[in-house]
Structure 1
Amino acid sequence: MATDAVVQIRSFNAGRDPQRLAMKYQKMRASTFAFLRATCHLFYQRLATQERLKDAPLVWACGDLHLENFGSYKGSNGQVYFDLNDFDEAALAPANWDLVRMLASIEIGAMDAGLKSKRAQVLCQAFVQAYAEALSLGKSYWLERETATGPIHHLLSDLRERKRSAFLDTRTDVRGGKRAIRLDGKKALPASAQERKHVKALISSYASTLSTPGFYRVLDVARRIAGTGSLGLERYMVLVQGKGGVDGNYLLDLKRAVPSSLTPYLKTKQPRWPSEGQRVVTLQQRIQAVPMAFLNSIEDAKASYVLRALQPSEDRIRISESTLAPGGQEDLIHAMGQMVAWAHLRTCARQGSAGADELIAFGKRKAWRSPLLASAKRCAQQVRQDAVLFNQAYDRGEFDVHSS
């Protein structure tokens, strides 16, 4: 099993950009939570072969649900929301697949934050309770500044007040009256001439279908450093003309879309999507209460990509934050449980997903809750074991991408 985990990780990441892949492996070595985030494929392989979760309704699942897959963003209507925010792994799956991964992330995230096991269990129970209660009500809502409380309210208030020009100043530099992406080695790396040409062609082709193609005129391109699981995949930070002038520019995120890690282990038949990019975009539009600004898929002859407004990783709340008191932790977890239930309800009766009545009945039942908590605990323990094996292999130099 040790060799199997190491081989699977190396195989899954084959062909990725070596510079950013080295960063990914380094992050995975640094914490068990980062390892969890980076090995969604391994998590579901383990779940499918080792766990026997009881039947649950089919939902359009986020797929990679964990503590840091929630965040604030500006929607397509210009308003600020807090919601699930990454859908690379989205698929039609049993509801408990989303839940068990989320609960395992709470277990592992709490451990990494120095919280005791009993505290992690309290937070897991709070999540399940909030999810079940919201699901049983049968109506989906959303969080925005006026309806959020505690740490989420503070985050949304900060984002609402943030000026685009101030955000641009954190990621770009102005030289000779023109902006350029700051290549700091932490958020962005240089793009080759071929990569820049490729991105400009993609954006130009997409812009030509719109009524305002000048908005998308590309000013600069960089390889983006972001995320954990996707780190090393083809991904760019793109500076576009926007509304004109140095303060009217916009930063966009362009990421290659690849198949969901869940599909090899799902017995559920998936729709035939025109492309992986369209799968991700369609399901993000379906799952989020209001989709993210500029969200679209772009295809060329070889691959498909997801385009959206650049979303800073800072616009998230981490359970380890020192400013988050115990009460704030429970408020945050409770809100996350509600948001997952609302997402599942929002997508009911769509292309094979369960109807609202089935989801409501599931939320009211209690028989599934204790087994789910126990399953998540076992999954978290398996992740810890796999992380130890990875760490040992990493320390032996088996994940040195520059020597392989």
Structure 2
Amino acid sequence: MSTSPRPDSLALLLDQEARRLPWLVPVRHSRMAESPFAFFRGAAAVMASDLSRQPHSGLMVQLCGDAHLLNFGFYASPERQLLFDINDFDETHPGPFEWDLIRLATSLLLAARSLGLTESQQNKICRRAVKAYGEAIEHLATLPFLAMWSLRLPLETLMNEKAGPCLRSHLEQVTATALRRNSRQAVRKLCETEPNGRLRIRHEPPLIWRFDQLPPEWMAGMESTAWTDQVKGLYIASLPAAQRHVIAQFRISDVALKAVGVGSIGTRCGMTVFIGDHPDDVLVLQGKQAETSVLAPYLDQRVPDHQGKRVVQGQRLMQTASDPFLGWATNPSGDEIYIRQFRDWKASVEVNALDAEGLKDYGKLCGWTLAKAHARSGNRKAIASEINTPKLYARALLEQALEHAALAEADYRLMLEAIAAGRITTAGPSADQPTSTSAGFSPRRYSGS
């Protein structure tokens, strides 16, 4: 790690939150305050700063940018197969391959500590994941390009070859849940039917705000229908011709803001319910505000012409198969967003359901998956040469992961101290109308000490 002064980690988070929906900022703090692992999930900007302060390989790939273990999971391919891959690309950006790998390794250390595993078990889990990455890159470097490009991990292979008893048992539960998570299930859970038969999203502030309940200042002074029609037009223009035909068969029934995740909470995220002529024709799409990647300030790359397009293109480059409804738009307030299916067989592993062997197997699976994603955009032969001996490389990278885990735990303690001193607010936000003064973490209240 560099000997130059380390920036104030909480100040970096404050800078992110200055652009977020203020009534959700305290929710973000509450979620990050749950544990060092939860803090780490929301602190990709802090780790990006730390990574930038150390030497790197110079071997550039399309990075996930936030490759912690819970950003891997299941989703449906366009052919309706259940796939396992990276599933979050908010921070995707070209960069040195090891930055993703260090973040994955660090997340595994913190997850292992959250389970109360021994230091020896923690280190082994971390090393095995990195070794699996190195071995996968080594293998991928020997394949013809087209064979590598189309490579995917079938569910049967995952269950029978990649998972031990603990992980296999949990994956059986996770995949059964995933296959039930679709637009119809989302509608049953999140919507109600009015007497005239119209589907309406339940208004459940502060986490779900229907657009027609937002004050005019949050809608650029526009009616909600005009707002959504403008976004829909731009989104449709970003889709391939075949998908434009598909979406044309549906009409909007309702739209709402919906808070999601840990790192993303407070960004403008919404869900739109579409309906068709058949009673079973329902489609729920999620729009997420795409901000500048946390990696961008530290890498000399061309500035993308649209942040939502950046996310979509990064996802398509890294995933073997991607959501056919991926697109982008700019809303009337000037926020750049990307759009995808809200629930389409999406599900993730629950760390608390795993033991030491289960987490080790899952880390290896994530390592293989990350290697496949990097091989699609980078020089896989050069990366394999850089790693050279996967076992030895894993030992060296463990030392870096241990440093970053220690920093995350120290930053977490700083956050708890700031909460205790009243400099950061975590009290549940009010269900009153959102206002421009409802932020829970502002420059006026945080002094950095």
- Pairwise same-fold verdict (TM > 0.5): yes
The equivalences for 1:362-373 within 5 A come to 362-366=386-390, 368-373=393-398
The equivalences for 1:255-270 within 5 A come to 255-266=288-299, 269-270=300-301
Instruction: Check conservation: 2:256, 2:271, Cα contact below 8 A.
Output: yes
Task: Tell me the equivalent position of 2:209.
Answer: 189
Task: Tell me the equivalent position of 2:155.
Answer: 145
Report the Cα offset of residue 99 of structure 1.
0.8
Instruction: Check conservation: 1:2, 1:386, Cα contact below 8 A.
Output: no
- SS of aligned partner of 1:146: helix
Instruction: Check conservation: 2:86, 2:319, Cα contact below 8 A.
Output: yes
Task: Tell me the equivalent position of 1:394.
Answer: 419
Q: Distance in 1 between matches of 2:420 and 2:192?
A: 38
Choose the corresponding residue for 2:121, options 105, 119, 122. Answer: 119
- SS of aligned partner of 1:359: helix
Choose the corresponding residue for 1:225, options 243, 251, 259. Answer: 259
Report the Cα offset of residue 72 of structure 1.
1.1
Considering only aligned residues, what root-mean-square deviation do their CA atoms show, in Å? 2.6
Q: Distance in 1 between matches of 2:345 and 2:404?
A: 26
- Which amino acid letter does the alignment assign opposite residue 335 of structure 1? L
The equivalences for 1:350-361 within 5 A come to 355-361=379-385
Worse-superposed segment, 186-195 or 21-30: 186-195
Instruction: Check conservation: 2:181, 2:346, Cα contact below 8 A.
Output: no
Worse-superposed segment, 295-304 or 14-23: 295-304
Task: Tell me the equivalent position of 1:351.
Answer: none
Q: Distance in 2 between matches of 1:71 and 1:41?
A: 22
1:104 aligns with 2:106: yes
Report the Cα offset of residue 186 of structure 1.
7.8
What whole-Å deviation, never above 9, does each CA across 1:141-174 have from its counterpart, x for those lacking one? Answer: 3233233212445433442355643342122222
- Which amino acid letter does the alignment assign opposite residue 347 of structure 2? D
1:165 aligns with 2:184: yes
Q: Distance in 2 between matches of 1:337 and 1:403?
A: 36
In the TM superposition, structure 1's runs of 4+ consecutive aligned residues that sit over 4 Å from their partners are: 161-164
Q: Distance in 2 between matches of 1:253 and 1:22?
A: 23
Report the Cα offset of residue 373 of structure 1.
0.8
Choose the corresponding residue for 1:338, options 344, 357, 368. Answer: 368
Task: Tell me the equivalent position of 1:379.
Answer: 404
- Which amino acid letter does the alignment assign opposite residue 84 of structure 1? I
Choose the corresponding residue for 1:214, options 243, 248, 252. Answer: 248
Instruction: Check conservation: 2:190, 2:202, Cα contact below 8 A.
Output: yes
Instruction: Check conservation: 1:240, 1:251, Cα contact below 8 A.
Output: yes
- SS of aligned partner of 1:23: helix
Instruction: Check conservation: 2:235, 2:327, Cα contact below 8 A.
Output: no
Choose the corresponding residue for 1:90, options 82, 89, 92. Answer: 92
Task: Tell me the equivalent position of 2:326.
Answer: 295
Report the Cα offset of residue 278 of structure 1.
0.9
Report the Cα offset of residue 251 of structure 1.
1.1
Report the Cα offset of residue 271 of structure 1.
3.5
Worse-superposed segment, 392-401 or 120-129: 392-401
Does the C-alpha gap of structure 1 residues 309 and 287 become closer, same or farther in structure 2, counting only changes over 3 Å?
A: same
Choose the corresponding residue for 1:283, options 311, 314, 318. Answer: 314
- Which amino acid letter does the alignment assign opposite residue 257 of structure 2? R
Instruction: Check conservation: 1:251, 1:310, Cα contact below 8 A.
Output: yes
- Which amino acid letter does the alignment assign opposite residue 206 of structure 1? Y
Task: Tell me the equivalent position of 2:270.
Answer: 236
Report the Cα offset of residue 23 of structure 1.
0.5
Q: Distance in 1 between matches of 2:286 and 2:117?
A: 34
Choose the corresponding residue for 1:22, options 21, 26, 42. Answer: 26
What whole-Å deviation, never above 9, does each CA across 1:365-402 have from its counterpart, x for those lacking one? Answer: 34543221101101100111011111111222212335
Q: Distance in 2 between matches of 1:4 and 1:162?
A: 40
1:247 aligns with 2:280: yes
Aligned-pair identity in percent equals: 25
- Which amino acid letter does the alignment assign opposite residue 340 of structure 1? L
Task: Tell me the equivalent position of 1:128.
Answer: 130
- Which amino acid letter does the alignment assign opposite residue 251 of structure 2? R
Q: Distance in 2 between matches of 1:46 and 1:328?
A: 30
**Unaligned residue ranges in structure 1 (runs of 5+):** 349-354
Name the larger-Rg structure: 2
The equivalences for 1:60-79 within 5 A come to 60-79=62-81
Q: What is the TM-score normalised by the length of structure 1?
A: 0.88
Report the Cα offset of residue 272 of structure 1.
4.1
Q: What is the TM-score normalised by the length of structure 2?
A: 0.80
